[in-house]
Amino acid sequence: MAELLKVGIADYKTGKAPSKIISYGLGSCIGITLYDKIAKIGGLVHIMLPDSTQARATENPAKFANTGIPLLLKEVLALGAIKSRLVAKLAGGSQMFKFAGASDIMSIGLRNAELAKKTLTECNIKIVGEDLGGTYGRTVEIDLETGLYKIKTINKGEKII
């Protein structure tokens, strides 16, 4: 059965082909996918903050890049994916509002992207596609049949990585 699995903010889902996993309306958040194309198993985590060590509320690991990625990795491996075959794609990390003298919080998308990539590298997972930055929102969807990652925007069209 082809299912459409929905991922909320600070949330993750894993699955097998022919299912798809979607997450709506990412701003500064990042949707990171892991995919094994032989087993056709993958997952998507929607992180909102870079670093759990700098936050006060850390009970939900899917909220942070540095804890969400290892969590997703563990879950796709538990589903039968093979670590050496896993590849990662990332999308999101935009800056929705531009302020004069942008504060720390306004560049959160950038920091999310940096730490997500660093964490993937530390986990020895190859990044094969990314669509990061900008000033617009994205809806992301991975097709677990093909591993293609579709990125929809309102004014910037659609993109597949």
Partner 1 sequence: MLNLSAMQLDAIREIGNVGAGNSATALSQLINKKIDMDVPSVSVVPLADVPELVGGPDTMVAGIFLRVYGKAPGSVLFLMPKESAFYLVEHLLGEPKNSDGELDEMDQSALMEIGNILAGAYLNALSYYTKLTLLPSIPAMAVDMAGAILNVVIVQLGQMGDHALVIETQFLSEDDGINGHFFLIPDSGSLQTILNAVGVK
Closer by beta carbon to partner 1, 51 or else 75: 51
* C-alpha span between 66 and 62 (Å, rounded): 9
Among 96, 107, 121, 133, binds partner 1 (CB under 8 A): 96
* C-alpha span between 134 and 116 (Å, rounded): 17
H-helix or E-strand spanning residue 22: strand 20-26
* C-alpha span between 94 and 52 (Å, rounded): 20
What is the contact mask toward partner 1 in residues 13 to 42, using x (rule: CB under 8 A)? -----------xxxxxx-------------
Q: Is 123 among the residues known to form the active site? A: no
Among 107, 121, 124, 135, binds partner 1 (CB under 8 A): 135
Which segments of the chain does DSSP mark as H helices, in order? Answer: 65-78, 108-122
Among 1, 98, 157, 158, binds partner 1 (CB under 8 A): 98
Residue 85 CB, shortest distance to partner 1, in Å, is 31
Closer by beta carbon to partner 1, 34 or else 62: 62
Nearest to 9 by CA among 49, 38, 43, 40: 49
Tokens of 110: 């950038």
What is the contact mask toward partner 1 in residues 39 to 78, using x (rule: CB under 8 A)? ---------xx----xxxx-xx--x---------------
Which residues are catalytic, by number? 29
